[in-house]
């Protein structure tokens, strides 16, 4: 392949194709572009030399490196490109130029940011992901989506501004914007960048932009959104903050709290958004294991593998619920049920996604999560605090099974029959789901042929030697995982039989967005109302006081005033006042 092509950041190709697609009115041409571009990009990436700055540019004395592939970012970029291809197929039934174009541009920006060779380039594409993705929410065309998209944009831009701020510190103190990992949060700029990444990774209390916006976006948009932003943040953490022990606890909390929201949430796309949060928690936790600035090879492999498989099975789950929404017009559990009769293939794919995310052996989640769990358990042997983390992750694993493995397929396709009889999903949706389901199984299988199955994925991980030494399919490992999952399923069946499983009810579930959507907005409205009343009132009081003072002065000093009743004394008083005033002025000016 010609050098100029292998030097081209595949993300740029996607961005350019995306921008072009916006102006292509012929649907078939646009469709060919949206599918061919990710395929070409994958080929470009596969043939690129690792560890080299392919495209550099010097701007204002800053050396920018636009394309640098190494063992850490390769797997993230590859996952993004595969997701982009799946999204394009999933969107084939639509005819929406802006959505097609922005989907490609968004994916391209995420890929470009992943392969950025310096912090400033990362920032540029970090911002482009924010701006391009907001269109996918807006495409839903509803009022709720419009407001959600504005909140989304505000949060994303805030993350970008913080990142730029942190970069300015780093540049000022280090004079370099290289991709070197931090070793402490006390380093200049480290904490600000940490928070900037944390917003995009949807850390606890910074998370709600995700559950607010993704479920309100278009059918196709939600699938696209699920893949990129949070996983780009995961990559950024793995790059800059490996082994930061703060991440262990943040990640562990992240795995747990969404589980409780997901169990009571009625909107299945919102359940998936919480589930996304929970999964990113596993990755963040894994990144935090080990020595600050270095990390732990096994755990970092776990984070990268988890990101890869997660992008695919989460897309698959969003696709299946998207297909249900497409056909029935709703994604609410209380309005769904019994859809296996009409959409059996979608149900099968959804179940495969559910089995994968729940980490059943022989599905992709198992081989990824095992790496993290083993790394955390190994740390736990030396550090009792890590035993707590390990138990938290194990708890969250049962939680994932609850909301993504059981709740999503059960309430959409089985359970109470909603009486909805619709057509099966369009063929292109089924094809995209089928491909994702294939990957979920293919990557999760034991390597019957050496190099295939899970070994294919392990070979792409940041530390392939450590990955090759790890054996996920041991008898005790499969047994313990099956014990955890099967007894959890049994708990579901038991609770269902005892009528202890809460019924799905319509309603919104309050989350931290309540703080700014109700309390913050309410406070703002209150200040506004108070000001609108106090403002004129204060002005009226001031006017009245001023006019009264004026009247008094007129009544006293005017030619017809009190002091002028006697002409002589009136004139003298006025002149005295003038002279006194002048004395005051002169003394003030000369002092």
In the region spanning residues 9 to 48, those forming contacts with other proteins, defined by CB under 8 A, are none
Closer to other proteins by CB, 257 or 454: give it: 257
Please pick, from the candidates 47, 184, 483, 529, the single residue that binds other proteins as defined by CB under 8 A: 483
Say which DSSP state 333 is in.
G
The mark string for 81-120 relative to other proteins (x by CB under 8 A, - otherwise) is -----------xxx-x--x---------------------
Our finding on whether 545 is near other proteins (CB under 8 A) is no
Name residue 332's beta-bridge partners: 267
Query: Of 176-184, 228-236, 256-264, 557-565, which part binds other proteins (CB under 8 A)?
Result: 256-264
CB 25 to other proteins: min, Å: 18
| φ and ψ of 538, to 5 deg | -60, -45
The mark string for 195-234 relative to other proteins (x by CB under 8 A, - otherwise) is ---------------------xxxxxx-------------
Chain residues 443-482 in contact with other proteins, contact rule CB under 8 A: 475-476, 479-482
Chain residues 307-346 in contact with other proteins, contact rule CB under 8 A: 325-330, 340-345
Closer to other proteins by CB, 431 or 441: give it: 431
Question: What 3-state DSSP class applies to 297?
Answer: helix
Closer to other proteins by CB, 17 or 392: give it: 392
- d(CA 474, CA 199) in angstroms, rounded, equals 38
Closer to other proteins by CB, 156 or 266: give it: 266
Residue of 199, 130, 187 lying closest to 162 (CA atoms): 199
Our finding on whether 125 is near other proteins (CB under 8 A) is no
Our finding on whether 347 is near other proteins (CB under 8 A) is yes
- Left if phi > 0, otherwise alpha if psi is -120 to 50, otherwise beta: which for 338? left
Query: Of 135-143, 165-173, 452-460, 526-534, which part binds other proteins (CB under 8 A)?
Result: 135-143
The mark string for 257-276 relative to other proteins (x by CB under 8 A, - otherwise) is --xxx-xx------------
Our finding on whether 436 is near other proteins (CB under 8 A) is no
HEC states along 133-162?
Answer: HHHHHHCCCCHHHHHHHHHHHHHHHHHHHH
Query: Of 15-23, 139-147, 446-454, 458-466, which part binds other proteins (CB under 8 A)?
Result: 139-147
Apex CA 125: angle with CA 14 and CA 269, to 5°?
A: 75
Our finding on whether 426 is near other proteins (CB under 8 A) is yes
Write out the H or E segment, with its range, that includes residue 58: strand 53-59
Chain residues 364-403 in contact with other proteins, contact rule CB under 8 A: 374, 377-378, 380-381, 387, 390-391, 394-395, 397-399, 401-402
The structure tokens listed for 15 are 């961005």
Instruction: Provide the angle, in degrees to the nearest 10, between the axes of the packed helices 190-200 and 143-174.
Output: 160
Chain residues 488-517 in contact with other proteins, contact rule CB under 8 A: 488-497, 500-502, 505-511, 517
Residue tagged 């589930």 (tokens): 275
- Left if phi > 0, otherwise alpha if psi is -120 to 50, otherwise beta: which for 450? beta
Render the burial of 385-411: b for 16+ CB within 10 Å, e for the rest.
ebeebbebbbebbbbbbbbbbbbbbbb
The structure tokens listed for 449 are 């042929």
CB 79 to other proteins: min, Å: 24
The structure tokens listed for 129 are 């992901």
CB 234 to other proteins: min, Å: 24
The number of beta carbons lying within 10 Å of the beta carbon of residue 591 is: 5
């Amino acid at each position: 392949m010609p050098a100029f092509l292998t030097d081209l950041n595949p993300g740029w190709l996607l961005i350019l194709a995306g921008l072009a697609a916006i102006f292509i009115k012929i649907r078939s041409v646009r469709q060919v572009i949206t599918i061919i571009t990710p395929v070409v990009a994958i080929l470009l990436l596969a043939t690129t030399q690792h560890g080299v700055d392919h495209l550099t540019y010097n701007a204002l004395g800053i050396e920018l490196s636009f394309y640098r592939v190494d063992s850490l970012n390769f797997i993230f970029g590859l996952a993004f490109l595969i997701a982009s291809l799946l999204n394009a197929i999933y969107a084939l039934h639509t005819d929406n130029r802006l959505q097609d174009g922005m989907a490609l541009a968004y994916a391209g920006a995420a890929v470009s940011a992943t392969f950025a060779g310096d912090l400033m380039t990362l920032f540029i594409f970090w911002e482009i992901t924010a701006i391009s993705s907001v269109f996918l929410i807006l495409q839903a065309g509803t009022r709720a989506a419009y407001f959600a998209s504005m909140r989304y944009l505000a949060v994303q831009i805030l993350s970008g501004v913080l990142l730029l701020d942190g970069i300015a510190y780093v540049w000022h103190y280090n004079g370099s914007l290289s991709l070197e990992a931090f070793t402490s949060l006390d380093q200049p700029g480290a904490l600000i960048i940490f928070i900037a990444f944390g917003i995009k990774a949807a850390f606890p209390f910074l998370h709600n932009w995700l559950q607010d916006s993704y479920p309100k976006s278009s059918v196709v948009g939600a699938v696209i959104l699920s893949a990129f932003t949070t996983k780009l943040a995961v990559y950024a953490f793995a790059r800059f903050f490996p082994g930061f022990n703060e991440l262990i606890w943040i990640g562990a909390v992240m795995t747990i709290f969404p589980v409780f929201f997901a169990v009571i949430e009625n909107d299945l796309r919102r359940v998936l958004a919480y589930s996304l949060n929970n999964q990113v928690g596993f990755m963040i936790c894994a990144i935090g294991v080990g020595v600050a600035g270095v990390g732990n090879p096994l755990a970092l492999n776990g984070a990268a593998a988890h990101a890869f498989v997660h992008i695919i099975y989460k897309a698959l789950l969003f696709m299946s619920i998207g297909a249900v929404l497409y056909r029935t017009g709703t994604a609410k559990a209380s309005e769904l049920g019994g859809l296996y009769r009409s959409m059996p293939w979608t149900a099968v794919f959804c179940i495969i996604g559910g089995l994968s995310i729940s980490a059943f052996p022989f599905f992709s989640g198992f081989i990824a999560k095992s790496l993290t769990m083993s790394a955390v358990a190994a740390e736990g042997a030396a550090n009792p605090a890590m035993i707590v983390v390990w138990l938290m992750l194990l708890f969250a694993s049962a939680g994932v099974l609850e909301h993504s493995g059981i709740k999503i397929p059960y309430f959409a396709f089985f359970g109470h029959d909603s009486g909805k009889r619709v057509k099966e999903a369009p063929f292109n949706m089924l094809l995209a789901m089928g491909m994702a389901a294939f990957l979920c199984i293919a990557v999760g299988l034991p390597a019957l042929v050496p190099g295939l199955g899970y070994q294919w994925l392990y070979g792409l991980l940041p530390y392939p030697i450590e990955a090759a030494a790890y054996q996920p399919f041991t008898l005790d490992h499969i047994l313990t995982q099956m014990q955890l999952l099967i007894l959890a399923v049994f708990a579901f069946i038991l609770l269902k039989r005892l009528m202890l499983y809460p019924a799905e009810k319509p309603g919104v579930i309050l989350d931290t967005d309540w703080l700014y959507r109700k309390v913050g907005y309410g406070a703002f409205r209150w200040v506004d109302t108070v000001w609108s009343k106090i403002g004129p009132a204060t002005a009226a009081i001031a006017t009245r006081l001023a006019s009264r003072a004026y009247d008094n002065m007129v009544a006293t000093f005017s030619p017809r005033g009190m002091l002028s009743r006697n002409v002589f004394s009136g004139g003298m008083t006025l002149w005295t006042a003038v002279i006194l005033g002048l004395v005051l002025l002169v003394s003030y000016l000369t002092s």
